[in-house]
Amino acid sequence: MPPANTHDRSLLTLVLDLTPSTWGERDLQRSDSDPKRFAANKRSIGPGRLEDVLSSTIAFCLAFAALRRDNTVVVIGVADDEVAVLYPRKGGAGRSSMASIVHDPADTVGGKVDAAALNESVRLGVAELVERAADKAEERADKAEQIADDDMKEKGGDGGGSASASAAADVTGALSPATPGAAIASGVTVALCVINRFMVAAGRGVSALASDRSGGPGASAPDGDGGIMALITGQGSKKKGSTNGGGPGGAPTPRILIVQASEDRTGDYNAFMNGTFAAIKGNVVIDGCFVPGVGGQNQIKQSAFLEQACDRTGGVYLSVPSPAQFGGALTAVLVSVFLSPASIRKRINLPALPEVDFRPRCFETGETVDIAHVCNQCLSIFKNCPKDTCPTCGAANAKKKKRAKHS
């Protein structure tokens, strides 16, 4: 009997968009459209709610774990600017953190994915993460209210024009998050850090704590990575004669799946693409599943960032239409499109990427531009030249500095 194929042993790092405002809007859309369609004896057309996506992604993770006993799953949640590791969780309770993956004892991890622990950890982690994002939004609202009260006291109720306009701008800024959408770039960065920890524990990757900085087979893993070593070597399964699968040195083959519902954050383009280039260097495949809402012509149906990342890393990209986002349909989509290992994807029929548009986009408006202004500090791109400072990095406008010097 031929030996088991070791190339398909994988590490799946799933990045899940949990932005409260996005899913709140989807829930309102369903609550508004479903009663009307049911009254007319018609089926719902979506979009999916957060519960639908959570159930489907958990089912997908369990299907992935069922492919091979020593497959490993890590789930990362992103809500506005908040990012956290949802699974695995240290001791099954407490705040999510990357340290929970490293410091769990070897006899409590590895060998297989516990379905009950995965379901409980992800749902508990989602509740905590959404609560933290909501608390930040409440803090912004309190700050805006305080600004308005201070302005009224300062003016004494006389309604000064310029001061009132300035206060209104301050209130708007306090109410709004720094950038709309989810910090997917931060989620990708955390995913790459988690993957690198697994690689370092298997004698690959790059670690500042390793005695051999070369990152080769002689590199030693930090003492705290016993839990990861159990995941990699299969010690937790207590199965004799098991082989270490995946890449060289017994390391699993890593990949990232991003399930995104919010629009792209244009200001995060540089960070997102830097993460993509790091994934290319580390042979990490990025798959993208975009879950759009329903609405008018202004409704975002695609993610240009995800398209580019999937194209560059050799991953699969799919924008799921709203009727396929609920009732178990999303589970079928995830399993049929994203479950297969990268090693066999050339032999099966998967959705082909459309022609990807790599033209630059304005970091403020998201518009595609042919001629633009580029910040000389952070290389951010703008359709119109910033007046004073770069909105991305805060650097002073070089043209303004030059004019001030000559004057």
* Residue 206 confidence (pLDDT): 67
Q: 345 vs 403, which has greater pLDDT?
A: 345
| Reported confidence tier of residue 26, pLDDT bands at 50, 70, 90 | confident
Residues 6+ apart with CB under 8 A from 10: 64, 67, 68, 71, 72, 246, 252, 253, 254, 255, 341
DSSP string, 349-401: --PPP-----S-B-TTT--B-SS-EE-TTT--EESS--SSB-TTT-PBPHHHH
Q: What is the mean pLDDT of residues 206-213?
A: 56
Cβ atoms of 20 and 130 closer than 8 Å: yes
pTM, rounded to two decimals = 0.74
pLDDT of 25 strictly over 80 = yes
190-206 confidence digits (pLDDT tens): 999 988 888 887 666 66
Instruction: Give the lowest-confidence range in 74-78, 87-91, 246-250.
Output: 246-250
**Per-residue pLDDT tens over the stretch 106-145:** 344 444 677 888 888 899 989 988 888 888 877 877 777 7
In terms of average pLDDT, the best of 258-267, 295-304, 372-381 is 258-267
CB under 8 Å to 134, separation ≥6 — which residues? 20
| Residue 276, pLDDT score | 92
* Rounded distance between C-alpha atoms, residue 405 and residue 91, angstroms: 60
pLDDT over 70 (residue 5):
no
Least trusted range by pLDDT, from 80-94, 360-374, 393-407: 393-407
Instruction: Give the pLDDT confidence score for residue 1 in this predicted structure.
Output: 36
Residue 240 predicted with pLDDT over 60: no
Task: Give the pairing type, strands 72-79 and 10-17.
Answer: parallel
Q: How much of the chain is helix, strand and coil, in % rounded to 5?
A: 50, 10, 40
Is the C-alpha dihedral spanning 293, 296, 302, 305 positive or negative?
negative
Query: β-pairing, 381-382 with 373-374?
Result: antiparallel
How far apart (Å, rounded) are the C-alpha atoms in residues 197 and 211? 15
Least confident of 117-121, 156-160, 229-233: 229-233
Give Cβ neighbours of residue 401 (< 8 Å, ≥ 6 apart). Answer: none
Q: Judge whether residue 272 has pLDDT over 50.
A: yes
CA-based nearest residue to 61, from 309, 215, 259, 352: 259
Rounded Cα distance, 384 and 396, in Å = 15
CA distance 130 to 18: 7
Residue 174 above 60 pLDDT?
no
pLDDT on residue 110: 45
CB 398 within 8 A of CB 386: no
Answer whether residue 273 shows pLDDT above 50. Answer: yes
Find the length of the chain. 407
**3-class SS of residue 10:** strand
Regarding predicted confidence, which is higher, 255 or 166? 255
pLDDT on residue 33: 84
Measuring CA to CA, how many Å separate 314 from each of 255, 273, 280, 287, 346?
11, 14, 9, 8, 11
The mean pLDDT value for 371-398 works out to: 74
